[in-house]
Amino acid sequence: MKLQIYGSGCEKCKSLAANAEAAAQALGVSFEMEKVTDMNAIIDAGVMRTPALAVDGKVIIQGKVASADEVRALLE
């Protein structure tokens, strides 16, 4: 599973990354984490509000810091 965090690298982006990592670990799935900070790549992915989380290239969260439980529910 590939998890991508889209954003500038701010505290909200870091929190979303940590929550996504915790959710994937709680589910026991193997994953790769990528942090995308390039504005052109963010726009190309269709992200309009950051932070955002994509799973295997599909954006599932935009514009908020989802809790680990919220992310886990989306990954299940």
Q: Which residues are catalytic?
A: 10, 13
Report how far residue 61's alpha carbon sits from residue 37's, in angstroms, rounded to the nearest whole number: 16
31: number of Cβ within 10 Å: 16
Tokens 């690298």 correspond to 9
